[in-house]
Structures are given as C-alpha cells and as structure tokens.
Structure 1
Amino acid sequence: MTDIARLAHGVLFPGVGRTRLPRWAAPRIAAGLGGFVVYGRDIVSATQVRELTAAMRAENPRLHLATDEEGGDVTRLENAGGISVPGNYALGALDDEETTWRAARQIGLSLRQAGIDWDLAPAVDVAVNPFSPNGIRTFGADRAQVSRHAAAWVRGLQSTGVSACAKHFPGHGLSGTDAHLGTPQVDLSREDLIEHYLDPFRAAIDAEVDSIMVSHVRLSQIDELPASISRPVMTGLLRDELRFDGVIITDALEMRGVRDYAQIGDAAVLALAAGADALCLGSWSFGEDVDTVVAAISGAVDDGRLSVERLEEANDRLARMGSREGDVDEPDAAYGEQLAREVISVGGDAAVTTENILIVRLDPVASPAAGRAEGDVERFLLEAGRNVETIRLSADTYAGEQMLSGALSEFAEEYGDDGTLVLLLRSPHRFDWQEPVIAAIRAKRPDAIVLDMGVQHDDYSDFRAWVRSYGSSRACARAAAEVLLGR
C-alpha cells in the first residue's frame, strides 16, 4: 500500500452497517481508516455497543468512533441503555446555561460508557424559519440565545473527554429544505454571514469545540457549490474568517444535498481540496465506498488536483483531536427526567380520569437524521394500568378520513364517558395534510387533550387541555404521561 492510500483512508468515516464488526472493516482499518460513524441501526443494547466499539479498538486503538447523540429527538443510545435527556429545543425553553452544560455532560458520560469518543453534536442552527426540518433540534430562534447554549453544550460534553462537533455550518436556519432530500439555499451576503448569521459557530469556537460539521447548504452569494465542497465557505469563512483550526468534517456525502452536484468519489476530492479534514461517507456507505473514495483521492493526488500536504494536514488534525482528559463519573439517569418535568407546559385540565384512552397520532415525515424517539407515551400509560388504543395517520394513510371518523365514533360508542381522546402532534404546521385533520377533531371533539411534542407554532388552547413537552424523547414522554395521569 502507498503512503497516499494510507493518508486517504485516514480521513474516511463510513458507517458500520451491522451490530458486530463486519468482515469488510478489518482490512480497511489495517489500511489506516480514520474511524466509523455508529448509527442507530448499529445499536441494539448497551452491552452490544460496548462489544462493537471494543472490537473496533482492538483492530486500532486510535480510531475515532463517532455518533449523532444530540439528546431529545435525535438519539442513538437512548433505547440501548443510554440516558434520556430533553433535546436542544427543550433546553432553549428552559434557557439556563448551567442546565445545558449538565445535560450535555450526561450525554458525554453515557457515550464514554459506550466506547464513543466523538459526538457529532450539538446542532447550533438558529430556527428563524419555522418550517425548518431541524427546528426541534435547535435551541430556538434567537441567535444570541443559541450562541450561549452552543458554548455551554460544547463545554459540558467535552468536560467528559468526548469531542463535540458544532453543526451544521454555516447553518440551516433560514432554509426549509432537508439536506438529505435536496440542497438547502441561504441567500445572505458575506457581510451578513460574518456580522450575525455565523455567531453560534463563533461561540462554539470560543468554547474550544474540537470539530465543526459543514453542511450541504449552498450560500448563493458566496459560491455555486454546497458548503461541504466549497473552498470559499470552508477555507474562506470557517478557517480564515472565524479562525477555526480544529477538525472540519463534512455532513454525509451520500445525501442528495451534495450528490446532486457530485458523486461520492468526486465529492470527497472536492471536500478535501476545499478544506475538510474528515469525510462522513454516510449510513449506507461501507467497504465498497471506502475503496471508491480512496481510489478517487489517490487519482486526484496523481493528477495534481489534490496535494499530499493537504492530506497530511487533515490526518494531523484528526490525530490531535480528543487529546484532553475527561471525568469518568457515572451518568445520572434521573437528570433528564427531572429536566423533562421542569420544561413541560400545561394549559387546561390535562388529568385523565377515565380508564380508557384513545391516542390519535398525526405522524410527521421523519427525517433520515432522526433517531428512534417518537414520544412513546402509550408505554407509560399502559404501565400505569390504563387501557390505551392508538391510531396513526400519515400523509399517505389509506382512507385516513374514514379511519379517523370511524375510530372516534366507535371509541365513543364503546366507552362513552369512560373514554378520553388525546391528539398527539409533532410540528404539524410543517405538513399541510394535518391542518384539516386537526380542524375536524377540533369541531367534533373539543374535549380532546392535545399533546404537542414538537415545535410550537399553532395555538391549541381552545381544546380541553394543551400539553407541551418540547420534544419526544423517552424523558419527555414519561413527563407527559405523568401529566395525563394527574401526577
């Protein structure tokens, strides 16, 4: 193997794809692979994930093992023995920097137990566009507030020795496009970007964040290319203007936001030439993609499009990352539940006195970035001995209108006054099909309780009760169930 091939392997971070070390991994690790991103489907239990990460480190103890553990709705470890804490949206609502520091610290301690040393979090986008798919993952719509909490989150996580990663530079906040599905557009001048839009990243840098993830947002006044393959963005803004000298990692190169411009090999070369140090290949990128990208990088060095010095610089930054010592305390499993109880907001009479509960779920279109959190309030109500029935509606539910009408009518006939309707919502303002459904329930059943587990936008105070949990993590679902149970 050539030195160039080893350097090329060193900047690559594919997925795993299995709950154990796959056959393709060991030879690529031996070739110098930088590490892995561990995704939700790679994790089934606390014991299993520790065995997986230990097997990786047995091949090379210097690997960087990363995951997306933001807390709240985007979690990889919550259902596998990890702690559950409310996410950024809830932390922004509480608006206490010490609380944010402690929440991020609990995440870091949980990751250390799992053998993970690099957390691709926090998201420090500013939710100025209420239709952003990332709204629930943000600290809010106020840039100064987001900046304060970004710094606190970074410091809290990194106090455990786990490296943080502020994302998604330069920020998704103005766009309503999911970068998994298309290229978000932000039309701001360089002056506007520097004077205010990039403030959360500036705050994270001041907090000594180890890494920053560059997104596929296209800054239309800066470059024709997405940020993840743009030298004016990565080197011009992030390196030269903000003076960031840590690791720059791309968002996943499998996403449509960049693949509409370049396939994975070409995108990898463009990203490195633009200033990236680490390439997140994506959750469905394994050995074959590693080989494709290594060949593309080696070819680019051979023909002069990419310098050896650029590859060496990237490898050196990755080697330096995560060198700090961290605490080894046990995570406090009760802390997240305490925060969920503190942040929950209740208007009206939300205590369910009936034995029977019908939950109508209006399911959002899930982002591929999201974890498994979906607000499993049913679990806690069932554990309390209530009879719980659920119907789920989505945009493509067959005969959805009839399903809803029939379910409401049949439930009322079956249980009468001993039945309560709960309407569970998650950012319904983002989905046009949900508006008439909510209007129909409002007209027919104003005695329903609305459980709002997403971004708050519309007013539901005309229903019997309106419960706002600021997220759908396990901790938030438990707090919501406690409210419904009158505890």
Structure 2
Amino acid sequence: MTELSRLAHGVLFPALGRRTVPKWARARVAEGLGGFVLFGKDIASGEQVRELTTALHGLREHVLLCVDEEGGDVNRLEDHGGTSVPGNHALGRLDDPERTRGSAYQLGLSLVEAGIDWDLAPAVDAAVNPLSPNGIRTFGADRALVARHAAAWVEGLQAAGVSACAKHFPGHGLSSTDAHLGTPTVDLSRQELVDHYLDPFRAAVAAGVDSIMVSHVHLSQLDDVPATISPAVLTGLLREELGFDGVVITDALEMRGIADVASLPEAAVRAIAAGADALCLGAWAFGDDVDAAAAALVAAVENGTLPEERLREANARLAKLGTRPRATGVPHDDTVGERLARDVLEVSGDPVLKGRRALVVRLDPTHSPAQGGASWGVEAPLRAAGIDVEALAVAGDTYNADGMIKAEVGLYLDEFGPDADVVLLVRSSHRFPWQRPVLDELLERYPGCVVVDMGVPGDDFGGFRGWVRTFGASRVCAGAAVDALLGTR
C-alpha cells in the first residue's frame, strides 16, 4: 500500500452490506478506508449492532462509523435498541430549542450505546416549498426558526460525544425534487443565498457543528453542475463565505442527482477537488465501488488533475472526528420522546373509537429511499392495545387503489354497522395528487371516519368525525395517536 493509496482510501465511506464484518471490508480497512455508513439492512438488533461496531472499530484505529439517525421518520436504531423521538418537523412545531437540544442529546446517548461515531444529521433545509420531499425532516419553513433549532440540535447531539452533520447544504427546501431521483434546482443569486438562504447552516457553524453534508442541488445562478462537485459552492460559499473549516461530506454518490451528471469515480475526484473531505458512496456501494473511487483519486493526483495536498487536508480533518468525550454509562431516556410526541399532538373533533374493532386504511406515500425500511402506522400499537384491527394499505401504483378503498370501507360498514370505526391513515397527503380525490369521496360518503395524519399538514380534514395530527411517524408519534384514538391521552 502506497501513501497515496492510503490517502485516497481515507476519504471513502461506503456501505457495509452485511450484519457481520464482510471479507471485502477487512481488506479495504487495511488499505486505509475512512469508515462506513451503516444502513437499515446492516442492523437487526441492539446487541447485533453493538457487536458489529465493536468488530469494525477493532480492525484499525480510527475507523469512523456513521448512520442517518435523524429522529422521526428517518432512523436506523429506533427499533433496534435506540430511542424514539418525534422528528424535526414536530420539534419545529413545538418551537422550544431547549427541548430540541434535549431530544438530540437522547439520540446521541443511544448512538454512543450503539458504538456510532458520527451522525449524518440534522437536516436543516428550510422547507419553504410545501411539496418538498424533505418537509417532515425539517424544522419548518421559517429560516429563523430552522436556524435556532439547528443550533440546538447540533449542541445536544455533540454534548453526548457524537459528531453532528448539518445537511443538505446549501439546502433544497425550495425544490420539490427528491435528489435520490433527480437533480433539484434552486434558482437564487449568490447575494440571496448569502443574505438569508444559508442562515440555518450559518447557525450550525456557529454552534460548532463537526461536519456538513453537501447535497446534489444545482444552484443555477452559481454553476452549471450540482453543489457536490462545484468549487463555487463548496469553496466559495461554504469555506470562504461561511468560514467552515470542519469536515464536508457528500450526499450519496449513487443518487440520481449526481449520477446523472457524473459516474461515481468521476464524481469522487471532482467532489474532492471542489472542497469535499469525505465521500458517501451510497447504500449499495461496496468493495468494487471503493476500488473504482480510490483508483480514480490516485490517478487524478498522478496526472495532475487533483493536488495531493487536497487529500492530505481531507484526511487531517477526518482525523478529528470521533474524538469528542463520550457520555458513556448514561442510559438514554425514552420518556423524553414520549412527552414530546404527546405535547405536539393536535386533535380535532371526536377521534375516540367507539368499540374494540377498527378498519385502518393506510394511504402510503411514495417511499423515500432516505427512510430505508422504517415502518409507520398505528395498526400494530392498536392491536397491542387489544383492538381487533383489519387493515388495508394502498399506494399510488396499487392497481385499482381507489376502488379497493371504497369497496373495503363499504364492506366493513355493511358487516359491522354504519357506526363502525374506520381510521384513514395518511402522511402528507397534499403531496400526492392521487390521494385527494379518494379522500374527498370518502368524506362525502363516510364522514364518520377518523383521519390520522402523520405527515406535514397540508389538507384540511375537519369535515371528518375526528382528525389527529402527529407531525411525524416515529414510534412515539404512533403511540400518541393511539392514545388519542383510545381516549387515554
């Protein structure tokens, strides 16, 4: 292994792909690999993840382990030994920075228990576009509110000893495009960006955030390429304008937002050249992608495209991560998330179930790759409470979805009577055009239904018998919704 190869490997962060240490990972760590991003498929239980992180840390000194543990809808550990808290949107609704700080601290404690060094959170985009796919992951649309909660969240997490990562720089709350599926565009001048758009990131920097994730947003008035590979964005805005000297990591290079512009090896070189320090390769990037990216970086240095000093600088910044004093021996407190979920809950009308039986009809949103395999809904906790639940789940691509819903509700009410309980479960329904006509017809025909909305508020369901808003779909949010349905809140 040459020194140049070690430096090239040191900026790479692939996925792992298995729940134990795979052979390919051992070999690449020996080559100097920076670390790994653990995804849901790598995690089966609290005990398993602790064994895995211990084994990975034992391969070499300073192997950095990251996860996307945002709290709320995007989590990896909630069902595997971690804690459950409402997500950023709920915290923004409460607008109590001290409680946001406390929530992030509890997440940090659970990450310390799991052996995680670096949390790729919080999302500090300001979701000014109501159709933003990241709306539920953000603190809100008001940049001043987002800024104060961004700072509090960073401080809380890092107080537990885990490095935070403010994302997705420079922010794509203006766009309705999911960067997993395409390249979001934000059409603002440099002055507009500096004057107000970057305020949440400015607040995170002032709070001492250890890292910032750059997104695949295209700032059309600054450059003709996504921010991930733009010197004007990474060096000009983030380094020079905001004065950030911590670690800059890219969003996953497998995402269409960058993959449609540059191959992974090319994007790796261009991102490091633009000012990034760490490359998140993606959830399905393993040994072959590591080899391709490392080879491209080495070749770029050898042919003069990339200064070797850029790799040295990046490795030096990464060496500082994972070195915060850890709050070891301090167990996380699950009641923090439970109280937050109860306090943010809003109820209209009369949502309390009349009996011990209910039909739950779930209108699934388009699945977000960021969410991974995290489940959502009230079916399981209702059953755990002794309710006899029948369930139907449909999505936008379900064959005859509207027909299935109308038929199932009609059949259920015919069987158990017109006053039988029907719960309609939605999540940011205003973002999905197919859902509105279905819900309008259900309101006209069956106004006695109860709606549980676990997303960003958009549609008004005040015409139904009852309406419960949780502002998130984490386990504690589902629990608070069930309490409202059972009349025990």
Q: Same fold by TM-score, threshold 0.5 exceeded? A: yes
Range of TM-score over shorter length: over 0.9
CA distance in 1, matches of 2:134, 2:403: 32
Q: CA deviation at 1:417?
A: 4.9
CA distance in 1, matches of 2:336, 2:60: 34
Q: CA deviation at 1:203?
A: 0.1
CA distance in 2, matches of 1:426, 1:457: 10
Query: Could you tell me which amino acid in structure 2 is paired with residue 441 of structure 1?
Result: L
Q: 2:287 is matched with which residue?
A: 287
Q: CA deviation at 1:374?
A: 3.8
Does the CA contact (< 8 Å) of 1:75 and 1:372 recur in 2?
Answer: no
Q: 2:167 is matched with which residue?
A: 167
Does the CA contact (< 8 Å) of 2:348 and 2:468 recur in 1?
Answer: yes
Query: Could you tell me which amino acid in structure 2 is paired with residue 386 of structure 1?
Result: I
Q: CA deviation at 1:69?
A: 0.1
CA distance in 2, matches of 1:319, 1:379: 44
CA distance in 2, matches of 1:61, 1:410: 62
- Residue 197 (str. 1) matches residue 200 (str. 2): no
- Residue 421 (str. 1) matches residue 422 (str. 2): yes
| Alpha-carbon displacement from aligned partner over 1:246-289 (angstroms, at most 9, x marks no partner) | 00000000000001110000000000000000000000000000
- Residue 229 (str. 1) matches residue 212 (str. 2): no
Q: 1:444 is matched with which residue?
A: 445
Runs of 4+ in structure 1 deviating by more than 4 angstroms, as ranges, are none
Q: CA deviation at 1:392?
A: 1.1
Q: 1:274 is matched with which residue?
A: 274
CA distance in 1, matches of 2:407, 2:426: 20
CA distance in 2, matches of 1:342, 1:374: 22
Q: CA deviation at 1:418?
A: 5.9
CA distance in 1, matches of 2:248, 2:118: 13
Does the CA contact (< 8 Å) of 2:124 and 2:168 recur in 1?
Answer: yes
Q: CA deviation at 1:18?
A: 0.8
Q: 2:150 is matched with which residue?
A: 150
Q: CA deviation at 1:400?
A: 1.9
Does the CA contact (< 8 Å) of 2:76 and 2:374 recur in 1?
Answer: no
Q: How many pairs are equivalent?
A: 487
TM-score normalised per structure 1:
0.99
Does the CA contact (< 8 Å) of 2:406 and 2:442 recur in 1?
Answer: no
Does the CA contact (< 8 Å) of 1:373 and 1:474 recur in 2?
Answer: no
CA distance in 2, matches of 1:67, 1:373: 14
Q: Residues 63-462 of structure 1: matches in 2 within 5 Å?
A: 63-328=63-328, 329-417=330-418, 419-462=420-463
Point out where structure 1 has 5 or more consecutive residues left out of the alignment. none
Secondary structure in 1 matching 2:252 = coil
Query: Could you tell me which amino acid in structure 1 is paired with residue 214 of structure 2?
Result: V
| Alpha-carbon displacement from aligned partner over 1:214-254 (angstroms, at most 9, x marks no partner) | 00000000000100000000000000000000000000000
CA distance in 1, matches of 2:326, 2:192: 37
CA distance in 2, matches of 1:275, 1:384: 53
Q: CA deviation at 1:79?
A: 1.2
Does the CA contact (< 8 Å) of 2:73 and 2:137 recur in 1?
Answer: yes
Q: 1:16 is matched with which residue?
A: 16
Does the CA contact (< 8 Å) of 1:83 and 1:331 recur in 2?
Answer: yes
| Alpha-carbon displacement from aligned partner over 1:381-436 (angstroms, at most 9, x marks no partner) | 11111111111111111122321122111101211156201111101111111111
Secondary structure in 1 matching 2:447 = coil
Query: Could you tell me which amino acid in structure 2 is paired with residue 287 of structure 1?
Result: G
CA distance in 2, matches of 1:402, 1:452: 21
CA distance in 2, matches of 1:273, 1:63: 23
CA distance in 2, matches of 1:241, 1:415: 64
- Sequence identity percentage: 60
CA distance in 2, matches of 1:61, 1:447: 61
| Alpha-carbon displacement from aligned partner over 1:77-116 (angstroms, at most 9, x marks no partner) | 0111211000000000010000000000000000010000
Point out where structure 2 has 5 or more consecutive residues left out of the alignment. none
Secondary structure in 2 matching 1:265 = helix
Does the CA contact (< 8 Å) of 1:188 and 1:220 recur in 2?
Answer: yes
CA distance in 2, matches of 1:189, 1:143: 17
Secondary structure in 2 matching 1:320 = coil
TM-score normalised per structure 2:
0.98
CA distance in 2, matches of 1:361, 1:324: 43
Does the CA contact (< 8 Å) of 1:72 and 1:84 recur in 2?
Answer: yes
